Amino acid sequence: MAGRKPRAPRTRIHLLAIQRKLARKGVTKEAMIAALLEQHSEITRAEREDIEFLGLMTIANSICNLKLGATSGVQIELFEGYDVPRTVSLSIADETGQVQRVQKFLDSLTKAEARQYVADHTQQPPKQSRTVAGIRRILDDIGDSGADDWTLKRCLKAARADDADAANN
């Protein structure tokens, strides 16, 4: 997958700029998109195909992540109580040896594929966990510095100043 050109690059750049501008006070994703469409409609028109593709990929992801309870059929009865999606995403090498992400129904997974899926997803911590861990480290570094209604930036500066004062004394 390396070397693949990112889709809708100008849209991404402008959306990032809008986020940087508006997120200090708090902004919803809907408000960011509204601002993008208002300020840069010519770019979104130019990158329409990429944006449509990304939107369809989002829909496909949500469909692939549906839990079994959202469907009907024999599969539910067989895997009832396991809290698993209907399909899982496997990394499978194609005929050229390039690894592709493939969706496969849970009931058609082989035991080896299931073990590989578990190994692949056990070894890689989810992105959210890294984010939570990073924020947790920030809070640990801040300690008691600052008030609860202060920004993290202000608290971290205060904590560093407190640490510098403690080192000088």
Residues 2-52: tens digit of each pLDDT: 557 789 999 999 999 999 998 888 889 899 999 999 999 999 999 999 999
- Residue 111 scores a pLDDT above 50: yes
- Domains of the chain by residue range: 1-64, 66-124, 130-168
Confidence of residue 119 (pLDDT cuts 50, 70, 90): confident
Chain center to CA of 149: 27
The pLDDT tens digits of the residues spanning 138-148 come to 888 888 888 88
Please give the residue that has the higher pLDDT: either 116 or 15. 15
**Pairwise CA distance, residues 116 & 122, whole Å:** 10
Name the DSSP class of 143. Answer: T
**Pairwise CA distance, residues 166 & 169, whole Å:** 5
Q: Positive or negative, the Cα torsion across 56, 58, 62, 64?
A: positive
Average confidence (pLDDT) over 78-105: 79
* pLDDT value for 80: 66
* pLDDT value for 70: 47
Average confidence (pLDDT) over 99-124: 80
* pLDDT value for 90: 85
